[in-house]
Amino acid sequence: MAVVGLAILLVILILVIFAPLFTQYSPTDMVLRDRFQPPSASHWFGTDDLGRDMWTRVWYGGRISLSVGLLSMATAIAIGTLIGLISGFFGGWSDAILMRITEIFLSIPRLFVLIVLTTFLRKLDLPWARAGSFWPIALVIGVLAWMTVARLVRGDTMSLRQQEFVQAAVMIGASNRRILFRHILPNVTSSIIVAATLGLAGAIITESGLSYLGFGVQLPTPTWGNMLSNTQNQMTTAPWTAIFPGMMIFITVIAINFIGDGLRDALDPYRVERG
């Protein structure tokens, strides 16, 4: 199933990245006389309430949704890996403090905090945090999604620091920084990859949920989530306006989960690479 998931995701990525090659329309072009056109040869996914081509908007919207997922997971990996390495390697009071912070973040009502923080960033009116930008949403999701990575890396690091090759590095006087990033980090990469892959699916769902509630990337910039939100009153009269963005969220998340499950089966998180 991992191979199937990878094939599906590759097709989606090709269509998203090279969207201009697969459509003659712009995602913001409005042709009011073509409002609510059903799927046809000229509009494969139909048109929305403003006559915009849904095929075009789905793939351009995928750019934003996938970008949010990737950036948020990059943020989560950076924070979680650093905290996990420090906590697992040094132990003692640093481990206790960092794990209490992790538990506090785990207890936070995530959706509420996401809404508050994204709204706050937009109120600051920073150029990179305005309504049409995905940066604030991606960063906020990442800041609230590092805990799983941190706990996985901590557990692996605690196990690895007892290994002979780490003890040998300590004996010859290698710095803590060198031990962490040269000897331990490469051996926890498999856990990070699996967590990041599965977390990517969660980040895409979170972005879609925020956009659906009106707190994500704002129209006219399309995302799968705000396209769904914009069709709430049209699901009976023009169901294709909701079916296609919803279908893309579902297919993408399932494909990523297939890949994540395959990686989890293939990579032994406790294997120590000594090559």
Residue ranges of domains in the chain, CATH in brackets: 2-12+67-266 (1.10.3720.10)
Rounded Cα–Cα distance for residues 213 and 156 (Å)? 38
- 80: confidence class by pLDDT, cuts 50, 70, 90: very high
- The token duo for 67 is 């970008």
Q: How far is CA 8 from the centre of its chain?
A: 17
Q: Which of 153, 185, 148, 132 is nearest to 72 (CA)?
A: 148
**Side-chain-side CA neighbours of residue 143 (13 Å):** 12
pLDDT tens digits, one per residue of 200-252: 999 999 988 888 888 888 878 889 988 988 888 888 889 999 999 999 999 99
Looking at residue 62, what is its pLDDT?
93
Contact 53, 45 (CB under 8 A): yes
pTM of the model: 0.86
Rounded Cα–Cα distance for residues 214 and 144 (Å)? 19
Cis peptide leading into residue 220 (ω within 30°): yes
Q: How far is CA 177 from the centre of its chain?
A: 29
Looking at residue 122, what is its pLDDT?
76
Looking at residue 274, what is its pLDDT?
41
- The torsion region of residue 68 among left (phi > 0), alpha (psi -120 to 50) and beta comes to alpha
- Percent of the chain past pLDDT 90, that is, above it, reads 51
- pLDDT average, residue stretch 40-59: 92
Looking at residue 130, what is its pLDDT?
66
- The token duo for 271 is 């294997």
- 155: confidence class by pLDDT, cuts 50, 70, 90: very high
